[in-house]
Amino acid sequence: MSKNLIIYYSRKGQNYWNGSIKNLDKGNTEIVAEFIQKAVGGDLFEIETVKEYSADYYECIDDAKQELNSGARPELKKYLDSIDEYENIFICGPCWWGTYPMAVFTQLERLDWNGKKVIAVMTHEGSGLGSCERDLKKICTGAIFEKGFAVHGADASKSEKLVADHAKQIVK
């Protein structure tokens, strides 16, 4: 049986939700990451930034846009140093301005991706996978890319079967 890793960034608190702002106890991406783990097993690794994003959703997305435009790499509270023991790596995050939050790239750039199977997973409110797969291909050199999948954020808590079906297709 292959070893799986689920790397994820998720936003709790204020989130965009079907056209309005809703306060979430657990972020949509965290819910999806846990569904992947439940379906195929593996280890979860949560990406957490040292500098917290604003609790206000609109301030957060403004900061995220500035980070994207400047190519920022926010400092993380902890880092994965190696993914040697893993075969399949799910990279999960919310779609912020068409791609992952920059903190995801902070982590990914530190790792050796040669021969690893990479699966992009994105939660979104209408943009699907955005450019995340293309962006991963630039950073995860040497990886084998499986077809990624997107989950509508407002439906994350109801997406267990969809997520499990996708994950099980990849991890056989």
Q: Residue 20: its pLDDT value, please? A: 86
Beta strands 13-17; 20-24: pairing state: antiparallel
pLDDT (0 to 100) of residue 18: 83
Alpha carbons 97 and 150: distance in angstroms, whole number = 15
Q: Which domain holds residue 143?
A: 4-170
- Per-residue confidence (pLDDT) for residue 2, from 0 to 100: 65
Number of domains in the chain: 1
Question: Bridge partners of 77?
Answer: none
Residues 125, 126, 128, CA angle at the centre, nearest 5°?
105
Give residue 67's pLDDT.
97
pLDDT in tens, the chain (172 residues): 469 999 999 999 998 888 888 898 999 999 999 999 999 999 999 999 999 999 999 999 999 999 999 999 999 999 999 999 999 999 999 999 999 999 999 999 999 999 999 999 999 999 999 999 999 999 999 999 999 999 999 999 999 999 999 999 998 7
**What pLDDT is recorded for position 16?**
84
Which whole-number Å values give the CA distances from 68 to 26, 98, 163, in the listed order? Answer: 24, 10, 28
